[in-house]
Chains A and B, each alone.
Chain A
Amino acid sequence: MSPPRPLPVLPAGPVDLAPDLREPGLDPERRAFLRTAAAGAALASLAGCKGFSTEDFFRRHFNELSGPALKRVLQKVEATNKATWGRDTTVTAEGPLPGVVFGYGLDLSRCIGCRRCVYACVKENNQSRERPQIHWIRVLEMDKEHGVDLTHAEHYYDPATVPQPGKFYFPVQCQQCRNPPCVKACPTQATWKQADGIVVIDYDWCIGCRCCMSACPYGARHFNLGEPNLPAAELNPVQHFLGNRPRPKGVVEKCTFCVQRSRQGRYTACVEACPVGARKFGNLLDPESEIRKVMETKRVFIFKEELATQPQFYYFYAT
């Protein structure tokens, strides 16, 4: 895990620009005035937008929230849920469990490509169903002849039954990298890696620039191009602030190892949905955990190892 970057600190006094950054022919006072005026105009125009709240805009970084401030933020999400979906929800912001680093194992020799994990994830994590259709898990059909090769991968396979002869199936989701390129790419520090290894997104701080999406080599991040399209009856009321709460339009989202479940000690939704038991989940620091047994006894590899992203998501062959 890379050391956390410090948050940007706003200096208390006037900012002294480096000499070569100064614009020529503009005295500092005038420049400061123009800047203030521009910011004020920007704020005024934003305040006119529907659904814009100055309180949200000036909310501190999640890691700086605590106690009552955090509670207020969570209650606000619950109120928004109530207003939008007419449902009572519980939104928590539970932090990482001490002494836990999550690891995920996926048995490629078992996966049959039935996509049940995909839809269990959609249901658990309140993804938009259609327009935009967002799937955090993508299952690729590959040829046994070619092995793990993205140039011979089919995302839209649709046979009557699976598995098809000569094919194997390769599910891809967020790999929770120890060296996450998406976190480095984020200009607003809206995404970061927590102590148990889960890379989370603060949807209020996300500005929707999609730099993280282009940085992610796994295509694991997805953008809400439209308002989420989610039937109120199917809303999962157990929500995590950094996880499965319904996302607004214009932000990026991705797999969080079901942060609302895993931090309660439960298996993720995809693990429970897998009909063949190909998915393994546990604590990498516990030598008795399933994932440690996998790593110690099976042939394990990580996807796109050459990129040095160091995923916490391991593919393995049990046979």
Chain B
Amino acid sequence: MRPTWFTRSSRRPRLAPLLALALLTGWPAAASSSEPKAGAAAPATAAKKPAAAAQVIQATSPPFTEGIFPCSGCHDGKEKVNTARRDLGFHDEQQSVFAHDAEHRWCLDCHDAQRRDQLHLTNGDLVPFTESYRLCGQCHGDKLRDWRVGVHGKRIGNWDGARTTFLCVNCHNPHTPLFKGVKESMVDGKLLVMPTLERIKPEPRPRRPEEVRP
């Protein structure tokens, strides 16, 4: 049976002009060489690459509201605190947008009344702002689990080595956590990512074919 047109054996005659050309110019025949090949590496075997030992999990710094943090600047922890849930007459910038189970939650569920520069878990354990994911994970355990293994949330750096993990609060405003948008800025040479209350404007759309024709 004749081979179909695309098989090698029938393609060979088509290469004959090239051969003639090669002989003309003294080009060495491009026969398959046994020298080590540049682009080819070891075949992808099932051999697992050794996991990077003790992977560094670096988190970006949490986005603090300018002029408010450190909270201990105003709350020295010595005043007597009314711990009853109520509308405050201050911190309007947070209260006005507060939409985090607002019916049931309020400031001191997460912020610690005595040590204002920290947060507390439901069991009373103190948590620094840099580990706020532990606080979030109390209710959003599925998200915490995904975040720990890298399925949820953004990471930058190396897929194979050190990478920077973004905290929950880099993308979600804890006072109104539904994702709207983020703003990236460089502060003292460090990347600071903070959630915004506005949604993102998309980058310019691609040109339509009719727009690029002369």
Q: Which residues of A line the B interface, CB within 8 A?
A: 1, 6-12, 15, 17-18, 20-21, 32, 35-36, 38-40, 43, 54, 58, 60-67, 70, 93, 95-101, 112-116, 118-119, 130-133, 135, 138, 155-163, 194-197, 200, 242, 262, 265-267, 271-272, 274-277, 280-283, 285-290, 293-294, 297-298, 318
Contact of A163 among B19, B199, B204 (CB under 8 A): B199
The number of inter-chain residue pairs (CB within 8 angstroms) is 239
**A35 lies within 8 A of B16 (CB):** yes
In the complex, chain A residues whose CB is within 8 Å of the CB of B182 = 275-276
In the complex, chain A residues whose CB is within 8 Å of the CB of B67 = none
| Separation of A13 and B198 alpha carbons in the complex (Å) | 72
In the complex, chain B residues whose CB is within 8 Å of the CB of A114 = 200-203
In the complex, chain A residues whose CB is within 8 Å of the CB of B42 = 98-99, 195
Contact of B161 among A99, A195, A265 (CB under 8 A): A265
Residue of A100, A156, A277 contacting most chain B CB atoms (<10 Å):
A277
A37's nearest neighbour on chain B, judged by CB, is B20
Contact of B17 among A6, A35, A159 (CB under 8 A): A35
In the complex, chain B residues whose CB is within 8 Å of the CB of A98 = 41-42, 44-45, 47, 49
Considering only CB atoms and an 8 Å cut-off, how many residues of chain B contact the other chain? 71
Contacts A40-B24, A65-B38, A265-B159 given; does A158 touch B205 at CB 8 Å: yes
Q: Is the interface of A mostly helix, strand, loop or mixed?
A: loop
Given contacts A8-B12, A99-B48, 8 further A-B pairs with CB under 8 A are A9-B29, A12-B31, A15-B13, A39-B24, A64-B35, A281-B159, A287-B48, A290-B149
Contact of B41 among A32, A43, A95 (CB under 8 A): A95
| Separation of A199 and B203 alpha carbons in the complex (Å) | 28
| Separation of A159 and B201 alpha carbons in the complex (Å) | 8
**A116 lies within 8 A of B159 (CB):** no
**B27 lies within 8 A of A290 (CB):** no
Contacts A35-B20, A274-B154, A290-B150 given; does A162 touch B39 at CB 8 Å: no
**B157 lies within 8 A of A318 (CB):** no
B63 to chain A, nearest CB (A): 14
**A267 lies within 8 A of B159 (CB):** yes
B169 to chain A, nearest CB (A): 14
- Residues of B68-93 at the interface with A, using a CB-CB cut-off of 8 Å, are none
Q: Does B207 contact A (CB under 8 A)?
A: yes
